[in-house]
Amino acid sequence: MHSDVVAVGDGMMSSLGSLCEIAMETCSSLYLESRLSCAEKG
């Protein structure tokens, strides 16, 4: 029973980690795009 809880916890942590990675990549790409568009306008 305890091992099941640990497995579920590990799965949640790994999925959260991948979600954070995706969010960071999306934010950084959006940031770079906004920087480029601002440079083009400027």
1-42 confidence digits (pLDDT tens):
688 989 999 999 999 999 999 999 999 999 999 999 999 887
What is the per-residue pLDDT for 42? 72
The pLDDT of residue 41: 85
State residue 18's pLDDT score: 97
Tell me, what's the pLDDT at 2?
Answer: 80
For 3, the token pair is 């091992």
- Segments making up each domain of the chain, as ranges: 1-42
- How many whole angstroms separate alpha carbon 17 and alpha carbon 2? 23
pTM of the full predicted structure? 0.62
Rounded to the nearest 5 degrees, what angle is found at the Cα of 37, between the Cα atoms of 36 and 39? 65
